Structure 1
Protein backbone atom coordinates (compact mmCIF):
# COMPACT_ATOMS: atom_id res chain seq x y z
CA UNK A 1 0.00 0.00 0.00
CA UNK A 2 1.41 3.34 -1.03
CA UNK A 3 1.45 6.12 1.52
CA UNK A 4 1.30 9.00 -0.94
CA UNK A 5 -1.50 10.03 -3.27
CA UNK A 6 1.16 11.23 -5.70
CA UNK A 7 2.67 7.74 -6.05
CA UNK A 8 -0.51 6.45 -7.68
CA UNK A 9 -1.16 5.92 -11.40
CA UNK A 10 -4.35 4.68 -13.01
CA UNK A 11 -5.07 3.61 -16.57
CA UNK A 12 -6.89 6.22 -18.61
CA UNK A 13 -10.15 5.52 -20.41
CA UNK A 14 -8.47 6.37 -23.71
CA UNK A 15 -4.77 7.02 -24.02
CA UNK A 16 -1.86 7.42 -21.63
CA UNK A 17 -2.02 6.45 -17.95
CA UNK A 18 -3.06 9.14 -15.49
CA UNK A 19 -0.45 9.94 -12.85
CA UNK A 20 -1.60 11.59 -9.64
CA UNK A 21 1.88 13.20 -9.52
CA UNK A 22 0.71 15.40 -12.40
CA UNK A 23 -1.86 16.90 -10.01
CA UNK A 24 0.58 18.13 -7.36
CA UNK A 25 -0.55 21.54 -6.14
CA UNK A 26 -4.11 21.02 -7.42
CA UNK A 27 -7.33 19.99 -5.71
CA UNK A 28 -8.61 16.69 -7.11
CA UNK A 29 -12.26 15.62 -7.05
CA UNK A 30 -12.55 11.88 -7.72
CA UNK A 31 -15.89 10.21 -8.49
CA UNK A 32 -16.66 6.58 -9.20
CA UNK A 33 -19.11 6.77 -12.08
CA UNK A 34 -21.53 4.66 -14.12
CA UNK A 35 -23.44 5.42 -17.33
CA UNK A 36 -26.67 3.59 -16.52
CA UNK A 37 -27.35 4.69 -12.94
CA UNK A 38 -30.03 6.92 -11.48
CA UNK A 39 -27.19 9.23 -10.38
CA UNK A 40 -25.64 9.41 -13.88
CA UNK A 41 -26.96 12.98 -14.43
CA UNK A 42 -24.37 14.00 -11.80
CA UNK A 43 -21.92 13.98 -14.73
CA UNK A 44 -23.39 17.41 -15.59
CA UNK A 45 -22.55 18.76 -12.14
CA UNK A 46 -19.06 17.29 -12.25
CA UNK A 47 -18.51 18.89 -15.66
CA UNK A 48 -19.77 22.22 -14.32
CA UNK A 49 -17.28 22.06 -11.41
CA UNK A 50 -14.48 21.22 -13.86
CA UNK A 51 -15.47 24.11 -16.15
CA UNK A 52 -15.94 26.59 -13.30
CA UNK A 53 -13.03 25.75 -10.97
CA UNK A 54 -10.54 24.07 -13.31
CA UNK A 55 -8.80 27.32 -14.16
CA UNK A 56 -8.21 27.83 -10.43
CA UNK A 57 -6.62 24.44 -9.90
CA UNK A 58 -9.42 21.85 -9.61
CA UNK A 59 -9.08 18.54 -11.42
CA UNK A 60 -12.17 16.34 -11.74
CA UNK A 61 -11.38 12.67 -12.30
CA UNK A 62 -14.07 10.16 -13.24
CA UNK A 63 -13.50 6.47 -12.55
CA UNK A 64 -16.13 4.32 -14.31
CA UNK A 65 -16.97 1.12 -12.49
CA UNK A 66 -19.31 -1.79 -13.08
CA UNK A 67 -19.15 -2.85 -9.40
CA UNK A 68 -22.64 -1.67 -8.44
CA UNK A 69 -25.69 -3.05 -10.18
CA UNK A 70 -23.73 -3.75 -13.39
CA UNK A 71 -24.47 -0.15 -14.37
CA UNK A 72 -21.32 0.44 -16.42
CA UNK A 73 -21.40 -2.40 -18.96
CA UNK A 74 -19.87 -0.46 -21.86
CA UNK A 75 -16.48 -0.55 -23.52
CA UNK A 76 -14.05 2.36 -23.16
CA UNK A 77 -15.28 3.78 -26.47
CA UNK A 78 -18.94 3.47 -25.46
CA UNK A 79 -18.29 5.11 -22.08
CA UNK A 80 -16.37 7.98 -23.71
CA UNK A 81 -19.10 8.55 -26.31
CA UNK A 82 -21.90 8.44 -23.73
CA UNK A 83 -20.14 10.85 -21.37
CA UNK A 84 -19.23 13.39 -24.02
CA UNK A 85 -22.44 13.20 -26.05
CA UNK A 86 -24.93 13.13 -23.16
CA UNK A 87 -23.15 15.27 -20.56
CA UNK A 88 -20.39 17.19 -22.34
CA UNK A 89 -17.72 15.55 -20.18
CA UNK A 90 -14.26 16.89 -20.92
CA UNK A 91 -12.55 16.11 -17.60
CA UNK A 92 -10.12 13.18 -17.34
CA UNK A 93 -11.68 9.71 -17.19
CA UNK A 94 -9.93 6.58 -15.97
CA UNK A 95 -10.43 3.14 -17.46
CA UNK A 96 -13.32 1.10 -16.11
CA UNK A 97 -12.04 -0.18 -12.76
CA UNK A 98 -12.98 -2.01 -9.61
CA UNK A 99 -13.51 0.42 -6.74
CA UNK A 100 -14.50 -1.97 -3.94
CA UNK A 101 -13.28 -5.13 -2.31
CA UNK A 102 -10.06 -7.01 -2.81
CA UNK A 103 -9.99 -6.13 -6.53
CA UNK A 104 -10.20 -2.36 -5.94
CA UNK A 105 -7.58 -0.36 -7.81
CA UNK A 106 -4.82 1.19 -5.66
CA UNK A 107 -6.42 4.66 -5.87
CA UNK A 108 -9.59 3.42 -4.17
CA UNK A 109 -7.62 1.34 -1.66
CA UNK A 110 -5.73 4.55 -0.78
CA UNK A 111 -9.00 6.52 -0.47
CA UNK A 112 -10.43 3.79 1.81
CA UNK A 113 -7.31 3.81 3.98
CA UNK A 114 -7.47 7.60 4.31
CA UNK A 115 -11.24 7.95 4.78
CA UNK A 116 -12.00 4.86 6.83
CA UNK A 117 -14.71 2.27 6.52
CA UNK A 118 -17.59 4.70 6.10
CA UNK A 119 -15.92 6.28 3.07
CA UNK A 120 -15.90 3.03 1.10
CA UNK A 121 -18.07 3.41 -1.98
CA UNK A 122 -21.30 1.49 -1.57
CA UNK A 123 -22.79 2.71 -4.86
CA UNK A 124 -21.93 4.80 -7.90
CA UNK A 125 -21.01 8.49 -7.64
CA UNK A 126 -19.19 8.59 -4.34
CA UNK A 127 -17.06 11.71 -4.49
CA UNK A 128 -13.69 12.40 -2.81
CA UNK A 129 -11.89 15.73 -2.38
CA UNK A 130 -8.08 15.54 -2.24
CA UNK A 131 -6.24 18.70 -1.17
CA UNK A 132 -3.40 20.47 -2.95
CA UNK A 133 -0.96 18.58 -0.71
CA UNK A 134 -2.40 15.15 -1.52
CA UNK A 135 -4.57 14.56 1.56
CA UNK A 136 -8.16 13.33 1.52
CA UNK A 137 -10.11 16.23 3.02
CA UNK A 138 -13.72 15.17 2.48
CA UNK A 139 -15.93 12.58 0.81
CA UNK A 140 -19.58 12.50 -0.19
CA UNK A 141 -22.14 9.82 -0.92
CA UNK A 142 -24.16 9.85 -4.16
CA UNK A 143 -26.93 11.68 -2.30
CA UNK A 144 -24.77 14.83 -2.30
CA UNK A 145 -24.89 16.26 -5.80
CA UNK A 146 -21.80 17.93 -7.27
CA UNK A 147 -23.62 21.28 -7.42
CA UNK A 148 -24.69 21.19 -3.77
CA UNK A 149 -23.58 23.93 -1.41
CA UNK A 150 -21.74 21.36 0.75
CA UNK A 151 -19.72 20.09 -2.19
CA UNK A 152 -18.84 23.55 -3.47
CA UNK A 153 -17.88 24.74 0.03
CA UNK A 154 -15.59 21.73 0.47
CA UNK A 155 -13.89 22.37 -2.87
CA UNK A 156 -13.53 26.10 -2.19
CA UNK A 157 -11.99 25.40 1.25
CA UNK A 158 -9.52 22.97 -0.30
CA UNK A 159 -8.66 25.48 -3.02
CA UNK A 160 -7.96 28.24 -0.48
CA UNK A 161 -5.46 26.08 1.43
CA UNK A 162 -2.01 26.51 0.00
Structure 2
Protein backbone atom coordinates (compact mmCIF):
# COMPACT_ATOMS: atom_id res chain seq x y z
CA UNK A 1 0.00 0.00 0.00
CA UNK A 2 1.18 3.46 -0.81
CA UNK A 3 -1.35 5.33 1.33
CA UNK A 4 -3.58 4.81 4.32
CA UNK A 5 -6.67 4.81 2.10
CA UNK A 6 -6.46 1.13 1.18
CA UNK A 7 -7.05 -0.01 4.77
CA UNK A 8 -10.22 -0.83 6.65
CA UNK A 9 -10.58 -1.05 10.43
CA UNK A 10 -13.49 -2.03 12.63
CA UNK A 11 -15.05 0.92 14.44
CA UNK A 12 -15.69 0.66 18.15
CA UNK A 13 -19.38 0.17 17.29
CA UNK A 14 -18.52 -3.02 15.37
CA UNK A 15 -18.93 -1.60 11.87
CA UNK A 16 -16.05 -1.65 9.41
CA UNK A 17 -14.71 1.76 8.39
CA UNK A 18 -12.78 2.21 5.17
CA UNK A 19 -10.03 4.74 5.80
CA UNK A 20 -10.87 6.02 2.31
CA UNK A 21 -13.60 7.87 4.25
CA UNK A 22 -10.88 10.20 5.54
CA UNK A 23 -9.33 10.99 2.14
CA UNK A 24 -8.00 14.54 1.99
CA UNK A 25 -7.85 14.97 5.77
CA UNK A 26 -4.85 15.20 8.06
CA UNK A 27 -5.00 12.33 10.55
CA UNK A 28 -3.36 11.53 13.86
CA UNK A 29 -3.51 7.80 14.59
CA UNK A 30 -2.87 6.83 18.20
CA UNK A 31 -2.81 3.50 20.04
CA UNK A 32 -4.71 4.35 23.20
CA UNK A 33 -5.37 2.72 26.59
CA UNK A 34 -7.68 3.55 29.48
CA UNK A 35 -5.46 2.52 32.40
CA UNK A 36 -2.08 3.93 31.36
CA UNK A 37 0.02 6.72 32.81
CA UNK A 38 -0.46 8.49 29.48
CA UNK A 39 -4.28 8.13 29.53
CA UNK A 40 -4.69 11.84 30.43
CA UNK A 41 -3.46 12.53 26.87
CA UNK A 42 -7.04 11.82 25.78
CA UNK A 43 -7.78 15.37 26.93
CA UNK A 44 -5.08 16.82 24.67
CA UNK A 45 -6.06 14.58 21.76
CA UNK A 46 -9.65 15.77 22.06
CA UNK A 47 -8.46 19.40 22.22
CA UNK A 48 -6.44 18.93 19.01
CA UNK A 49 -9.43 17.29 17.34
CA UNK A 50 -11.78 20.11 18.31
CA UNK A 51 -9.31 22.84 17.35
CA UNK A 52 -8.57 21.57 13.85
CA UNK A 53 -11.47 19.35 12.76
CA UNK A 54 -13.18 22.13 10.81
CA UNK A 55 -9.96 22.50 8.81
CA UNK A 56 -9.89 18.82 7.81
CA UNK A 57 -8.18 17.10 10.75
CA UNK A 58 -9.17 14.05 12.76
CA UNK A 59 -7.70 12.03 15.59
CA UNK A 60 -8.27 8.28 15.20
CA UNK A 61 -7.98 6.26 18.41
CA UNK A 62 -7.07 2.56 18.36
CA UNK A 63 -7.38 0.89 21.76
CA UNK A 64 -4.67 -1.68 22.41
CA UNK A 65 -4.13 -4.06 25.34
CA UNK A 66 -0.59 -5.20 24.47
CA UNK A 67 1.23 -3.06 27.03
CA UNK A 68 0.80 -4.03 30.66
CA UNK A 69 -2.86 -5.06 30.19
CA UNK A 70 -3.79 -1.37 30.35
CA UNK A 71 -6.85 -1.66 28.08
CA UNK A 72 -8.74 -4.59 29.61
CA UNK A 73 -12.30 -3.45 28.85
CA UNK A 74 -14.68 -4.36 26.07
CA UNK A 75 -15.22 -1.99 23.17
CA UNK A 76 -18.44 -0.77 24.82
CA UNK A 77 -16.61 -0.11 28.10
CA UNK A 78 -13.81 1.72 26.30
CA UNK A 79 -16.28 3.90 24.39
CA UNK A 80 -18.17 4.74 27.59
CA UNK A 81 -14.94 5.57 29.43
CA UNK A 82 -13.71 7.86 26.67
CA UNK A 83 -16.96 9.80 26.34
CA UNK A 84 -17.77 10.14 30.03
CA UNK A 85 -14.25 10.79 31.32
CA UNK A 86 -12.76 12.82 28.45
CA UNK A 87 -15.74 13.86 26.28
CA UNK A 88 -14.08 12.16 23.29
CA UNK A 89 -15.93 12.58 20.02
CA UNK A 90 -13.14 11.64 17.62
CA UNK A 91 -13.42 8.24 15.92
CA UNK A 92 -12.52 5.24 18.06
CA UNK A 93 -11.86 1.80 16.67
CA UNK A 94 -12.24 -1.70 18.02
CA UNK A 95 -9.39 -2.97 20.17
CA UNK A 96 -6.42 -4.11 18.06
CA UNK A 97 -2.90 -5.39 18.36
CA UNK A 98 -0.11 -3.15 17.07
CA UNK A 99 2.82 -5.59 17.39
CA UNK A 100 3.45 -9.24 16.66
CA UNK A 101 1.79 -11.71 14.31
CA UNK A 102 -1.70 -10.45 15.22
CA UNK A 103 -0.90 -6.81 14.47
CA UNK A 104 -3.53 -5.01 12.45
CA UNK A 105 -2.24 -4.55 8.86
CA UNK A 106 -2.70 -0.78 9.16
CA UNK A 107 -0.32 -0.64 12.11
CA UNK A 108 2.18 -2.93 10.40
CA UNK A 109 2.17 -0.47 7.49
CA UNK A 110 2.47 2.60 9.74
CA UNK A 111 5.51 1.11 11.48
CA UNK A 112 7.16 0.28 8.15
CA UNK A 113 6.50 3.77 6.81
CA UNK A 114 7.95 5.52 9.87
CA UNK A 115 10.19 3.34 12.00
CA UNK A 116 11.03 4.49 15.50
CA UNK A 117 14.37 5.33 17.09
CA UNK A 118 17.31 3.50 15.52
CA UNK A 119 15.03 2.08 12.85
CA UNK A 120 12.99 -0.13 15.17
CA UNK A 121 9.50 -0.78 13.91
CA UNK A 122 7.90 -2.08 17.10
CA UNK A 123 5.52 0.16 18.99
CA UNK A 124 7.10 0.57 22.42
CA UNK A 125 4.07 1.65 24.46
CA UNK A 126 0.57 3.13 24.47
CA UNK A 127 0.00 6.56 22.93
CA UNK A 128 2.48 6.25 20.08
CA UNK A 129 1.25 8.67 17.43
CA UNK A 130 1.46 8.80 13.63
CA UNK A 131 0.66 11.98 11.68
CA UNK A 132 -0.71 11.32 8.19
CA UNK A 133 -0.91 14.08 5.59
CA UNK A 134 -3.77 14.90 3.24
CA UNK A 135 -2.08 12.67 0.66
CA UNK A 136 -2.54 9.60 2.89
CA UNK A 137 1.18 9.22 3.59
CA UNK A 138 2.80 9.10 7.01
CA UNK A 139 4.58 12.35 7.82
CA UNK A 140 5.83 11.80 11.38
CA UNK A 141 5.93 9.32 14.25
CA UNK A 142 5.86 10.52 17.84
CA UNK A 143 6.83 8.75 21.04
CA UNK A 144 4.23 8.26 23.80
CA UNK A 145 5.92 10.97 25.86
CA UNK A 146 5.16 13.63 23.22
CA UNK A 147 2.07 15.46 24.43
CA UNK A 148 -0.70 16.26 21.95
CA UNK A 149 -0.29 20.01 22.55
CA UNK A 150 3.27 19.72 21.19
CA UNK A 151 1.88 18.59 17.81
CA UNK A 152 0.01 21.78 16.90
CA UNK A 153 2.73 23.20 14.65
CA UNK A 154 3.08 19.91 12.75
CA UNK A 155 -0.70 19.58 12.38
CA UNK A 156 -0.94 23.15 11.07
CA UNK A 157 1.90 22.53 8.60
CA UNK A 158 0.19 19.36 7.34
CA UNK A 159 -3.13 21.17 7.02
CA UNK A 160 -1.45 23.89 4.94
CA UNK A 161 -0.21 21.36 2.38
CA UNK A 162 -2.31 20.25 -0.55
CA UNK A 163 -3.32 16.59 -0.65
For normalisation by structure 1, the TM-score amounts to 0.94
* 1:5 CA displacement: 1.2
Tell me the residue number matched to 2:76: 77
Correspondence for 2:23: 24
Q: Which secondary structure does the structure 2 equivalent of 1:101 belong to?
A: coil
Structure 2 residue 157 is the aligned partner of structure 1 residue 157:
yes
Q: Which runs of 5+ in 1 are unaligned?
A: none
The aligned residue for residue 120 of structure 1 is 122
CA apart distance, 1:16? 2.2
Shift of 1:33: 0.2
Conserved? CA contact 1:119–1:139, under 8 Å:
no
Residue 121 of structure 1, CA deviation: 1.5
Alignment of 1:52-71 (within 5 A): 52-71=51-70
Question: Could you say what secondary structure the match of 1:37 adopts?
Answer: coil
Matches of 1:3 and 1:102, distance apart in 2: 21
Partner of 2:6: 7
In 2: Cα distance, 1:145 partner to 1:121 partner: 17
Measured in 2, the distance between the counterparts of 1:8 and 1:127 equals 17
- 1:103-114 aligned at under 5 Å gives the runs 103-114=102-113
Q: Could you tell me how far 1:4 is from its partner in structure 2? A: 2.9
Q: Which moved more, 1:3-12 or 1:61-70?
A: 3-12
Q: Distance in 2 between matches of 1:131 and 1:160?
A: 10
Instruction: For residue 108 of structure 2, give the secondary structure of its aligned residue in structure 1.
Output: helix
**Residue 34 of structure 1 corresponds to which residue in structure 2?**
33
1:12-58, Cα deviation, whole Å (9 max, x unpaired): 11142121101111001000000000000000000001111000000
CA RMSD of aligned residues (A): 1.1
Aligned residue pairs: how many? 159
Q: Which residue of 2 aligns with 1:130?
A: 132
